[in-house]
Structure 1
Amino acid sequence: MFEVQQAAAGEWAVVAGGGRALLVAETDPVRLRGLLVAVRAGFAETLDGLVAAGLSRTPSFALLDASAETVLLAVRGTAAATVTEDGRERSVRATGVSSWVETQLTGAETVTLGDGASRDTLPLVEGVVRSSGLAWSADEREEAGATVAAPPRRERDTGPVDAVAAEAIVAGPAVEPFAAAEPDEHTRVPEATLTEVAAASAPSETTGYDHLFGATMVRSVEEAAVRPEDEEAAPARIDLPGFITDSFPPAAGSLEGDHDGLTIMSGDLPRRGEPTAPVETPESEPVPERQRFAVLLSDGRREPLSVPVVVGRAPSVSAVPSLRGARPVTLTTAEDDISRSHVAVAVEGDSVVVTDLHSRNGTMVVLPGASPQKLRSGEPTTVVLGTVIDLGSGATLTVEAAG
């Protein structure tokens, strides 16, 4: 929670959300609504929103992020912050700095942005208000982060079970065995049916299981003995299917008698040195040539993407060690408002991949027939032919097919 100073409409406004607070010199309501979304998203997203229109158009601000254990603070322009650590106060300003001053506060007790402690304040958790300052205290964060202890777990109200002596167990009444009931005198059953049932259920004289498996065959030891097969008996004939016998036709002049017609004799094999019929191999289909790409720079130059390129005001391939064999391409503007190593463009397979190299002003891509989109810093993004890559200040790259 932040304590905000009451003030009428003026130059300064406070934007709070997600444990972060921004004191910014801004009066445009549309701009402030966009900053509220960025403050809710995170510390880096808020800085991106502040410098979206360029560093020269970035207003003065003081940004405090108290959502984590380590408090982050950034100050630019005429904004100021006062930090209390170990009972001592120190001021954080961006005097003589063209961008902003950013620092981490590990043991901050209170932080005041602008003129937040000079008058009566009101609490603010999330929203946008007109104010010239705000104050934050570490004690309030600890109170807000306190948790409610869970109720103690209730154990079952069961005690030990005492053993019961065997003499104390009382036996119940004996159960009479089930006896078949006599047929009802009013029910008429044919005598033939009763005879068949009695005969089927009668036990066999030989074994007690004939009524389950049928009649038992009784053989003598002589009849049941296993004897070796007769050596003079002809072996059993095996009928092979036609697709096997047809695939091995008998050779001319084959031997009669015990030849099975399937064995290949050595005389049937071609002799060494005799020409053999050539084996026809199917012609392989031609491999289609891969699509080649290039980028057209805003100054009229055309750079092929045979190897990855790093584009910027003074590019260095060491900024992207993962792109092997990358080539630096220098692109300047009148304002020199693009980063030294601004963007990397490479071909992966049949696609073109663009990566913003944590540039100062960011990178916009405009796909054919789509709205402009801002790239996430350090995140590779696939684009198509005709995509315009905008680096700001009129510096653009257009993805084209290489001739």
Structure 2
Amino acid sequence: MFEVQQTTAGEWAVVAGGGRALLVAETDTGRLRTLLDAVRAGFAETLDALVARGLSRTPSFALLDASAETVLLAVRGAASATVTEGGRERDVRANGVSSWVETQLAQADAAALGEHVDTGALPLIDGVVRASGLAWSAADRAEDVGATVAAPPKRERDTGPLDAVVVEAVVEAPVEPVVAGPAVEPFAGDGFPAEPDPQTRVPEATLTEVAPVASPPATAAPVAETTGYDHLFGATMVRSVEDAAVRPDEEEAAPPRIDLPGFITDSFPPAAGRMEGDHDGLTVMSGDLPQRSGSDRSEPVPAAPERLEYALLLSDGRREPLSVPIVVGRAPNVSAVPSLRDARPVTLTSAEDDISRSHVAVAVEGDSVVVTDLHSRNGTLIVLPGASPQKLRSGEPTTVVLGTLIDLGSGVTLTVEAAG
């Protein structure tokens, strides 16, 4: 929660939302609505909205972000701020700075933007008001969080009597068991049934052997051929052991010989000393294969080349390895590039101080170096070896090679080199 100093006239307005507050010299209602959406979105989004029309048309402002443990503060132009840390007060101003002054407050107890806030201040959590100053206290933030979290109302336990529930019994008719398979008929005595199941065929010879009869069985009439395999039942032939014995003079028929074309048989001449008739004509023996010369041996596979490691040579003489992605800028914030995991910030400034806070990101993807302009104010130029300079598109990753020069402006450059 912020406390604002109400004013009836003037150019200053306070925009609050999402734990952030902006004191800005702006009178246009449409611009204030746009800034309200940006303040609710985040600290970096608010700075982007303020400089959207160019640095020369950016109004004076003081931006305070108290949504996290570390408080962020940015001041530009005629705006001012007073910060209290550990019981000591200090002023933050941007006199003589063309852009703005930005700082982090890790142990901030309170902060005041603009004019002094007296006892007639009003609370503001979200919205836009005309005001000349605002104040923030870390103690108020703790109280707001405590007041926001409330215990849910305790529900009374219902201990009243329950109405009796009448359950009507449903009597179902008994279900007859279902027996899978064909029905089984009882035997008429100790022997076989007088009339067998029409679905089961029993060979007549078997019936003759099991059930004795008074007279010898008559010759079975030939069974008429029907559809399927029903004609096979009853046609079983029974031979004696003598008839079923294998005779020595019974020889197995030799397998038919396959005549191969001449271009196959001529390619594999018979080995020396092989007896006639030992080869079946189909199997290729190892002795029939032509001898291979030593020149036909496969060459050893060369080992895969080692992966090239890269580094960046900064214009101030430093050398930064690209073992992990890096974010280069005046005050780089790796959280501005969520797609780069374990990114490392590298601070680089210029005399004109016109480099963006998070200006450019450089990372290694596979065997290549990828450069991405992080929506910087002045843009980024790259100069490939032997090529003309070209400007990167904001937010679009671009692949570069060894020796590429990355120009951030005002003489600040990065050169892609091999590490080691």
Give me the TM-score of the superposition, normalised by structure 2: 0.49
1:113/1:201 Cα in 2 relative to 1: closer, same or farther (>3 Å)? same
Alignment counterpart, residue 104 of structure 2, candidates 102, 105, 118 = 102
CA distance in structure 1 between the partners assigned to 2:355 and 2:251 by the alignment: 98
Structure 2 residue identity aligned to 1:337: D
1:215 corresponds to 2:211: no
Q: Which residue of 2 aligns with 1:382?
A: 398
1:6 corresponds to 2:6: yes
Q: Which residue of 2 aligns with 1:76?
A: 75
CA distance in structure 2 between the partners assigned to 1:317 and 1:144 by the alignment: 49
Deviations 1:249-305 (A, max 9, x none): 8967986556422233566444x5xx88x99x9xxxxxxxxxxxxxxxxxxxxxxxx
CA distance in structure 1 between the partners assigned to 2:5 and 2:172 by the alignment: 90
Deviations 1:132-160 (A, max 9, x none): 123442223321343535757989x99xx
Structure 1 residue identity aligned to 2:152: V
1:60/1:236 Cα in 2 relative to 1: closer, same or farther (>3 Å)? farther
Root mean square deviation of aligned Cα? 6.5
In the alignment, is the contact (CA less than 8 A) between 1:315 and 1:341 conserved in 2? no
SS in 1 for 2:320: helix
CA distance in structure 2 between the partners assigned to 1:350 and 1:7 by the alignment: 60
CA distance in structure 2 between the partners assigned to 1:64 and 1:146 by the alignment: 25
Matches within 5 A, 1:142-291: 142-146=146-150, 148=152, 151=155, 205=192, 214-217=200-203, 230=246, 234=251, 257=277, 259-265=279-285, 268-270=288-290
Q: Which residue of 2 aligns with 1:133?
A: 133
CA distance in structure 2 between the partners assigned to 1:116 and 1:208 by the alignment: 119
Q: Which residue of 1 aligns with 2:379?
A: 364
CA distance in structure 2 between the partners assigned to 1:2 and 1:225 by the alignment: 115
CA distance in structure 2 between the partners assigned to 1:244 and 1:216 by the alignment: 55
Gaps of 5+ in 1: 159-169, 179-199, 282-305, 325-330, 398-403
Structure 2 residue identity aligned to 1:63: L
Q: Which residue of 2 aligns with 1:93?
A: 91
1:23/1:216 Cα in 2 relative to 1: closer, same or farther (>3 Å)? farther
Q: Which residue of 1 aligns with 2:118?
A: 118
CA distance in structure 2 between the partners assigned to 1:177 and 1:44 by the alignment: 80
Deviations 1:304-326 (A, max 9, x none): xx9765565x36322755489xx
CA distance in structure 2 between the partners assigned to 1:113 and 1:230 by the alignment: 117
CA distance in structure 2 between the partners assigned to 1:268 and 1:117 by the alignment: 106
Q: How many equivalent residue pairs? A: 319
Gaps of 5+ in 2: 163-168, 178-182, 211-237, 299-308, 327-347, 383-390, 401-405, 415-420
1:354 corresponds to 2:371: yes
1:243/1:341 Cα in 2 relative to 1: closer, same or farther (>3 Å)? farther
SS in 1 for 2:201: coil
In the alignment, is the contact (CA less than 8 A) between 2:16 and 2:36 conserved in 1? yes
Q: CA deviation at 1:71?
A: 5.5
1:318 corresponds to 2:320: yes
Q: Which residue of 2 aligns with 1:59?
A: 60
CA distance in structure 2 between the partners assigned to 1:203 and 1:239 by the alignment: 57
CA distance in structure 1 between the partners assigned to 2:241 and 2:132 by the alignment: 113
CA distance in structure 2 between the partners assigned to 1:146 and 1:243 by the alignment: 95
SS in 2 for 1:142: helix
CA distance in structure 1 between the partners assigned to 2:123 and 2:245 by the alignment: 107
In the alignment, is the contact (CA less than 8 A) between 1:3 and 1:135 conserved in 2? yes
SS in 2 for 1:14: strand
In the alignment, is the contact (CA less than 8 A) between 1:203 and 1:210 conserved in 2? no
1:112/1:248 Cα in 2 relative to 1: closer, same or farther (>3 Å)? farther
Q: CA deviation at 1:79?
A: 1.7
In the alignment, is the contact (CA less than 8 A) between 1:23 and 1:114 conserved in 2? yes
Q: Which residue of 1 aligns with 2:39?
A: 39
1:131/1:209 Cα in 2 relative to 1: closer, same or farther (>3 Å)? farther
Q: CA deviation at 1:19?
A: 2.2
In the alignment, is the contact (CA less than 8 A) between 1:75 and 1:92 conserved in 2? no
CA distance in structure 1 between the partners assigned to 2:42 and 2:112 by the alignment: 20
In the alignment, is the contact (CA less than 8 A) between 1:81 and 1:111 conserved in 2? yes
Q: CA deviation at 1:103?
A: 0.2
CA distance in structure 1 between the partners assigned to 2:275 and 2:260 by the alignment: 23
In the alignment, is the contact (CA less than 8 A) between 1:245 and 1:262 conserved in 2? no
In the alignment, is the contact (CA less than 8 A) between 1:316 and 1:341 conserved in 2? no
CA distance in structure 1 between the partners assigned to 2:135 and 2:323 by the alignment: 43
Deviations 1:162-192 (A, max 9, x none): xxxxxxxx9x8997989xxxxxxxxxxxxxx
Q: CA deviation at 1:113?
A: 3.6
Indicate the percent of aligned positions where both proteins have the same amino acid.
Answer: 40
SS in 2 for 1:131: strand
Q: CA deviation at 1:13?
A: 1.9
Q: Which residue of 1 aligns with 2:330?
A: none
